[in-house]
Chain A
Amino acid sequence: MRSIIFEEIKSFVINRTGVAVLLIIAFSFSFIAVNITLTDFIYASNEQSAAEESYGDKTFYKITFIGEDEVINRLSSDKYKENIKNLYDSLKTSSLFDYNCTFVDSMLFYNADDAEYSSDDFPPYKKECLLGYEEGDADFYTADGMLYLKAVYASSGFEKEQHVKLSSGSWFTPEDFNVSSPDNIVLPVLLGNAYKDIYQIGDKIENAHPATSKAITLSVIGFLNENSYFYDNNNEKTILNRYMVIPNCDISYDYVLDDQSYESFFSDTYNIFNKIINARIICSNENADAASEMFYKMLNDNKLYEFSLINETSGMQQYLSGLEDQTVSCGIIAVFMILLSVVMFCFQVYYNIRKNRKKYGIYIINGITLKQLFVLMIANALTIFILSDILLCILNFLLNNGVVLDFGTNDYTIIVLFVIETLLTVFMAFFGLFKLKKMNLCTLLRENE
């Protein structure tokens, strides 16, 4: 039977090589269109559900600033510190919206003695550092000899995050968000689930403050449930398994030093500028306009004209609407291309049967069963699909490497393509059998008569 199947494939592909090649190309590009459609669809769905989970039906504002590095330098400078602090205090106390500033950043390990961020100074932490990253990523983060850990700087109320749960220990207390002295700072830390085997509650992690060179101690107060997550100010879902969560502190001591400079703990590590540009401002839709007006009034009052408010909700809606249009357009093209390819394939099957009707007649008088005929028809369709898939993989590799066209491949699209190809294979096999059955066998047998 294998020999017959091979002959069948040979005659199907080689008899009209041009059409077969065209079919392979047509199906490949159809599958690319399906792939793009599904990838867009999945991406849009994920974004949509992330938005819904993150801020629901409320309005989400984000603060940004106009300009580049020089603006950051100016706004972070001592000259603006009071204004920035006033803005920060106003944001925190506003009744029109909820201010939240929990953001993701890295935590460096610093040696107070030699003022270096060298990883050599912290061999005990190397393991933790490597744990903080997926395999391979850690090489990048330790390549320059520095140790970074994935950290989350949490606002007060972090325990109210819907998808963050404690597996053991306790949450931060309101006092944990306040540093009353620059000396002997001990910050509580909640560790992601992946740290469970390394630390216990009550353990101390010693570090030095990057700017002041003063010792800083992280005290483990609890562990988070596996796969706890939250959405940051960019609406990125952050899974906390490999993160250290420390409080995003305010200070209650006088941060102006004798020489009239500012104490670095305040200015460099947890500076208020960060707390502003990483803020999530969420308000009810009714208050959206009023919240925006109030924000710009705060900017005016503090002469901080470089800041502006971005309505992420409407931005996201516009983006999702665009993505939806793109998905629909792409889907229509994909369906159209598949239909065209199927029609082409049906013509090729019909041509093949007409051309080889005598051969099929010979098979039938020699006792080929319906099942065996079905296998022959399936073999033709499968050959075309396998070659199309190979071309698809080659195109994917070449185009993605050359960054000409990026069509993502994910598990879902592979499953969907597999289902589509299976259905089409069965359909085409039935089509072939149907066409064969419509031919008069007695005529087939006397082809030359």
Chain B
Amino acid sequence: MPLLSLENITKSYDKKTLVLKKFNLSVDSGEIVAIIGKSGSGKSTVLNIIAGIDSADGGRYTFQGNDMLELSGDKMTVFRRENIGFVLQHFALIENNTVFKNIALPLYLKHEPKKVIKEKVVAIAEELEIEEKLGKIPKQLSGGEAQRVAIARAIINQPSLILADEPTGALDENTGLKIMQIFQKLNKKGHTFIIVTHDPSIAAMCDRTIKIKDGKNI
């Protein structure tokens, strides 16, 4: 059974602009899958539907065998919190918060005890070699460091799936490469990745590439 499966997913905005046209995707546990396509092709919409922050108009979406299009409201939120980590192009860090607080955010929302939060954050920071940056705020970090903070936050809950939307888009080639190496390292530890990119070199580092054009598989 695949970890997740999208079958004939359609999505339109304002009932006029059809963004996804019967899009299909199946991802197994432990894979790194790249979704590659041009800007406006609908690849970010796919991620949003998988994460449950956007809904599909039609089709079928299952995650670990569960019908996800049936979930709504707080049930979807809890699913997202427990199962999905997000890494975005511009890191999506809270600017006034320290690195520690940024990484700990999903744990705060789960009402984890202070002691547990500290242990988990320090462990992840050490793993991603940002333990010295825990007291800093995002403005004081380089792009690579900021993305590692975002990755740390994405994996702190040990989610089954990590969605990365253009994770290297704001980074130079060298730093982007390092981030991909981190993804590969985490993948070996069992994390599943779906990476949206328009960069063929990033896609080449993934197990599999799904091409999307005008909302359709090609």
Contact = CB atoms under 8 A, between A and B. Distances in A.
Interface of A: 1, 3-4, 7, 11, 358-359, 361-372, 441-442, 445-449
16 contacts: A3-B101, A4-B108, A7-B94, A358-B92, A359-B94, A361-B92, A364-B77, A365-B80, A366-B86, A366-B109, A366-B153, A367-B106, A367-B110, A370-B73, A372-B109, A442-B53
**Interface footprint category on B:** 20 to 34
B109 A449 contact: no
Interface string B40-54: 000011001001011
Contact of A362 (B48, B51, B77, B92): B92
B36 interface: no
B96 interface: yes
A372 B105 CA distance: 13
B97 A7 contact: yes
Given A7-B96, A445-B53, 8 more contacts: A1-B109, A361-B92, A363-B109, A365-B92, A367-B82, A367-B106, A369-B78, A446-B89
Contacts of B92: 358, 361-362, 365, 445, 447
A362 B150 CA distance: 11
Contact of A445 (B74, B88, B93): B88
Given A367-B77, A442-B44, A4 B90 contact: no
A280 to B, nearest CB: 68
Interface in B81-119: 81-82, 86, 88-90, 92-94, 96-97, 101, 105-106, 108-111
Interface string B138-175: 00000000000000010000000000000000000000
A447 B54 CA distance: 17
Given A3-B101, A365-B51, A449 B86 contact: no
A369 B90 contact: no
Interface SS of chain B: helix, strand, loop or mixed? helix
A369 B75 CA distance: 9
B114 to A, nearest CB: 9
Contacts of B96: 7, 11
Contacts of A369: 74, 77-78, 109
B198 to A, nearest CB: 13
A9 to B, nearest CB: 13
A359 B94 CA distance: 6
Interface string B18-56: 000000000000000000000000001100100101100
A449 B89 contact: yes
A371 B74 contact: yes
B88 A442 contact: no
Contacts of A442: 44-45, 48, 53-54
B20 to A, nearest CB: 13
A445 B94 CA distance: 12
A367 B108 CA distance: 10
B73 A363 contact: no
A442 B78 CA distance: 18
Contacts of B54: 441-442
Contacts of A359: 94
A95 B167 CA distance: 102
B53 A446 contact: no
A130 to B, nearest CB: 57
Contact of A367 (B44, B78, B94): B78
Given A3-B101, A372-B109, A365 B74 contact: no
B109 A446 contact: no
Given A358-B92, A446-B90, A3 B53 contact: no
Contacts of B105: 4, 362-363, 366
Contacts of B90: 446-449
B87 to A, nearest CB: 10
A364 B53 CA distance: 8
A367 B52 CA distance: 10
B81 A362 contact: no
A368 B110 CA distance: 9
Contacts of A1: 108-109, 111
A359 B101 CA distance: 13
Contacts of A449: 89-90
Nearest to B74: A369
A251 to B, nearest CB: 84
A7 B104 CA distance: 14
Contacts of A367: 77-78, 80-82, 106, 109-110
A361 B94 CA distance: 10
A370 B77 contact: yes
Nearest to B90: A448
B120 to A, nearest CB: 14
Contact of B109 (A368, A370, A445): A368
